[in-house]
Amino acid sequence: MALAGTALLTGCATPPAATDREALAEFRANNDPLEPFNRQMFAVHQVVDRAVLRPATVAYQVLPLPVRNSVRNVLNNLRTPVVLVNDMLQGQPVRGGDTLGRFVINSTLGVGGLFDVAESRFGVPVHYEDFGQTLATFGVGEGPFLFFPLLGPSNSRDLAGYGFDIAAQPLTWVGQGLAVSVLGGVRAGATILDTRDYYFNTIDEVNRTSLDPYATLRSGYRQARANAIANRDATGTRSLP
């Protein structure tokens, strides 16, 4: 903990001089005062990705696409309680109804979430909400950018929201024990693997072509979060009748 605290303190980027308005404006726009520390964490993540995550994902991709899609569908279904709570907290009853309807349909007709019948039969795709997005709708600022190995990009608001997301998971409330721990570990591992699989080509492209993969990831993360907060992920979709 002491080493981590030292790294955080020594990792703070120094703002440019007030007389250099252009550099100061860029510094504030990036909102990344911990950039040196974040870049170190990103470098660690890149090593882990090359040594473990990418090879594991390549092996995972040996499975047929329908099987991998079913894994993603189950993970989406398990995420429903968090999404539903945040739909309601954000005052989005229609989206909340879609979330609940998707859960009922996919848990029954979709055989426990293996198949996304709600989208294939009723035209209602999955959408994501989390407490970080809810805090944003309440006017909480994003805070400084953060990066953690394996977890990836975040910010102080989303990091706080992540704690609430964990608390809202049913597994958090079913007690302790080996079975619960194993289920939680399997789900966490499957989520990491599924996410790496989903962004496989994008990550490879950024690593291959970007002059600064860290800055590219930071920018992409902020744009994606802004779109998610504004619910622009739902463009062109319709609600369940």
The pLDDT of residue 13: 45
**E strand or H helix at 96:** helix 93-108
* Cα–Cα dist 103/85, whole Å: 13
pTM for the model? 0.81
Structure tokens given for 185: 């570990």
Query: What pLDDT shows up at residue 116?
Result: 98
CA distance 184 to 161: 19
Q: Cβ(162)–Cβ(132) under 8 Å?
A: yes
- Which pLDDT score, from 0 to 100, does residue 177 have? 76
Residue 156 structure tokens: 């102080």
The pLDDT value given to residue 232: 78
Show pLDDT as tens, one digit a residue, over the chain (241 residues): 433 332 333 334 445 455 555 544 555 556 799 999 999 999 999 999 999 999 999 999 999 999 999 999 999 999 999 999 999 999 999 999 999 999 999 999 999 999 999 999 999 999 999 999 999 999 999 999 999 999 999 999 999 999 999 888 887 777 777 877 888 889 999 999 999 999 999 999 999 999 999 999 999 999 999 999 998 764 333 334 4
What pLDDT does 237 receive?
Answer: 37
- CB neighbours of residue 107 within 10 Å: 15
Do residues 234 and 127 touch, judged by C-beta distance below 8 A?
yes
Q: Residue 46's Cα: distance from chain center in Å?
A: 18
State residue 235's pLDDT score.
38
For the chain, state the CA radius of gyration: 20
Length of the chain: 241
Q: Any idea where the domains of the chain sit in the sequence?
A: 39-233
Query: DSSP character for 49?
Result: I
Q: CB count, 10 Å around CB of 172? A: 12
Q: Pick from 230, 31, 216, 39: which is nearest to 141 by CA?
A: 31
